[in-house]
């Protein structure tokens, strides 16, 4: 054991993460201190805060990058076993879900940023491509969200008939399609443009209008409508 190692219990009360939170409020804690509370216990040579600081440093002080860690990634970190990794993943997921609920599905969609804020928490960090469709009523409120296709890192296959069948089932007046780019690149590919045109041309046959195609990434988004590509 490191002879200079001091457990958190031996620290001044105002320096311990849990006690500091009680005394000063949650906003007074650093990212590492909040993470240490989730980790709860350290090892023989490191406190929970030491481990937390190492994790924050490893993720380049970027919470977004840390939120992309998988169970496997976390358990590879010294001092983080399966139980701690599961606790961290659960906390990360709650954060993502909270972000998603900030955009209420019942509110009319009037701007592309609303769609991005709705989908970013669940799509931006995916390691594979996923294609979704939002089905809207006459008021442009979302009545359903459907995953149409799941692919690999490079792309996914889209069946326009599936999109149309669901539009008829939901009695949708409009659709907004979206997919993610795991690379983080917001620029649409030639294939993205082709499928957009194909869906746009098919939409009237299903009594609905294609309103937008959003490319979701961890670095932002691209709206076909905003860029005059529809």
Angle 164-166-168 from CA coordinates, rounded to 5° = 70
Q: Terminal CA-to-CA distance of the chain, rounded, Å?
A: 64
Q: Is residue 18 part of a domain?
A: yes
Among candidate residues 100, 118, 135, the one where a domain is terminated: 100
> Helix 82-101 to helix 31-39 angle, to the nearest 10 degrees?
130
Phi/psi at 131 (5° precision)? -115, 125
Query: Which residue range is the domain that position 92 belongs to?
Result: 8-100
Tokens of 91: 């906390």
Do both 95 and 109 map to the same domain? no
Are 179 and 129 spatial neighbours (Cβ–Cβ below 8 Å)? Answer: yes
Do both 68 and 122 map to the same domain? no
Do both 74 and 168 map to the same domain? no
Q: So what's the pLDDT on residue 112?
A: 97
CATH number at residue 49: 1.10.150
Do both 68 and 116 map to the same domain? no
Do both 139 and 45 map to the same domain? no
Q: So what's the pLDDT on residue 62?
A: 85
Do both 217 and 141 map to the same domain? yes
Do both 116 and 215 map to the same domain? yes
Among candidate residues 100, 135, 156, the one where a domain is terminated: 100
CATH number at residue 204: 3.40.140.10
For the chain, the domain total comes to 2
pLDDT along the chain (230 residues), means of 10: 55 73 91 94 91 93 86 95 95 80 73 94 90 96 93 74 95 97 95 96 96 96 96
Do both 79 and 151 map to the same domain? no
User: Which pTM does this prediction carry?
Assistant: 0.67
Q: Is residue 61 part of a domain?
A: yes
Do both 93 and 117 map to the same domain? no
Q: How far apart are CA 118 and CA 124, in angstroms?
A: 11
Q: So what's the pLDDT on residue 125?
A: 87
Q: How far apart are CA 225 and CA 212, in angstroms?
A: 5
The CA distances from residue 116 to 62, 70, 119, 123, 219, in Å, are 20, 23, 5, 9, 11
Among candidate residues 46, 76, 100, the one where a domain is terminated: 100
């Amino acid at each position: 054991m490191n002879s200079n190692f001091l457990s958190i219990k031996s620290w001044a009360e105002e320096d311990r993460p849990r006690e500091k939170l009680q005394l000063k409020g949650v906003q007074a804690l650093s990212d590492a201190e909040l993470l240490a509370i989730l980790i709860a216990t350290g090892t023989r040579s490191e406190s929970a805060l030491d481990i937390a600081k190492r994790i924050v440093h490893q993720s380049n002080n970027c919470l977004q990058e840390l939120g992309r860690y998988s169970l496997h990634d976390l358990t590879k970190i010294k001092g983080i076993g399966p139980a701690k990794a599961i606790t961290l993943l659960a906390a990360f997921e709650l954060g993502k879900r909270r972000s998603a609920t900030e955009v209420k599905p019942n509110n009319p969609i009037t701007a592309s940023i609303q769609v991005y804020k709705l989908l970013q928490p669940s799509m931006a960090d995916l390691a594979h491509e996923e294609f979704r469709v939002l089905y809207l009523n006459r008021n442009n409120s979302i009545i359903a969200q459907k995953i149409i296709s799941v692919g690999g890192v490079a792309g996914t296959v889209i069946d326009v008939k599936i999109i149309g069948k669901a539009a008829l089932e939901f009695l949708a007046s409009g659709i907004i399609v979206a997919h993610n780019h795991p690379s983080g690149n917001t620029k649409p590919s030639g294939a993205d443009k082709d499928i957009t045109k194909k869906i746009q041309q098919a939409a009237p046959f299903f009594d609905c209008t294609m309103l937008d195609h959003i490319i979701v990434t961890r670095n932002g988004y691209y709206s076909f409508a905003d860029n005059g590509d529809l």
